[in-house]
Chains A and B, each alone.
Chain A
């Protein structure tokens, strides 16, 4: 899922300095799972912001809410009555959620309360590691389920560089060499021959961010 981290409270307080009444809205999907933007985090951040502003002698009224999924227009529409009654919105959803709210309610300022980091896995409670960079053309069937785009520092597609040393990446001994991992995994599942299959360079346009925002259209799902 998408993993995010909360912005520092002082940065958020700077955003909110001109306002006396805001809506703080979280999301119960990805950001709740990484404990940064769910319903509980809305409560925590709202309490912190109110206390900070009270201490400054400039009270801040905060309406609190949490969308089921802030990237869906139907769920964002549910915020309309609250949005009408505030001066600004602070969203602690991922960047997608912030933009969905800003797009839906275009006459009010919408501020981000988190920094969206990556798509990742929960490796243990409280630890999240990047696993996917949405390259647009998944090759995990050729690499034993280990992504060379997200997990190789150089995003090499056809084997390790000369810096791979004893299973570690040359940039940091603590980081495993993705291609060592790919080799070991393919060997374990009897697919080592797939390492010889050439993976061509990623295509511009469809498979990268160089032609503007990518779009997927499913005509069968449109009303």
Chain B
């Protein structure tokens, strides 16, 4: 049977999101079926192009999981990702795609619970929004 869970692509930074995701998994926390994690060395590695390609390739929603704003190991990687997300939001508005589909979440490496809660809420929000009109 085809899964009806929204497809979420989560770009997870090595220093925060990926470790938190791993913790959530190890603690047996429930994560949405449609979640796909893409590990990146830093949120600053994520370009506008990657966010758009994720949406074009069938993601209902995209999440950038980065360090807290003053805690980036690369100093400003998380801020750069946030600025690029703002740029992509502008493009999404112009092409008629809901900008709520693309979000950033800041957390620490030991916050497996926040990671699980964030992706669950993202899945619920995307169910309300409906599947991406691009699919």
Contacts and interface: CB of A to CB of B under 8 A. Distances in A.
Nearest to B93: A9
B99 to A, nearest CB: 13
A55 interface: yes
> Is the contact region of chain A dominated by helix, strand, or loop, or is it mixed?
helix
Interface residues of A, number: 13
B48 A51 contact: no
Interface in A1-45: 8-10, 40, 43-44
A10 B48 CA distance: 19
Given A55-B97, A55-B133, A55-B134, A9 B49 contact: no
B74 to A, nearest CB: 15
A18 to B, nearest CB: 19
Interface in A53-70: 54-55
Interface stretch (B29-37, B50-58, B109-117): B50-58
A55 B52 CA distance: 14
A50 interface: yes
Given A9-B91, A43-B49, A47-B52, 20 more contacts: A9-B95, A10-B94, A40-B47, A40-B49, A43-B53, A44-B48, A44-B49, A44-B91, A47-B55, A47-B56, A48-B91, A48-B94, A48-B95, A50-B56, A51-B56, A51-B97, A51-B134, A52-B95, A54-B134, A55-B97
30 contacts: A8-B94, A9-B94, A9-B95, A10-B94, A40-B47, A40-B49, A43-B49, A43-B53, A44-B49, A44-B52, A44-B91, A47-B49, A47-B52, A47-B53, A48-B52, A48-B91, A48-B94, A48-B95, A50-B56, A51-B52, A51-B56, A51-B95, A51-B97, A52-B94, A52-B95, A54-B134, A55-B95, A55-B96, A55-B133, A55-B134
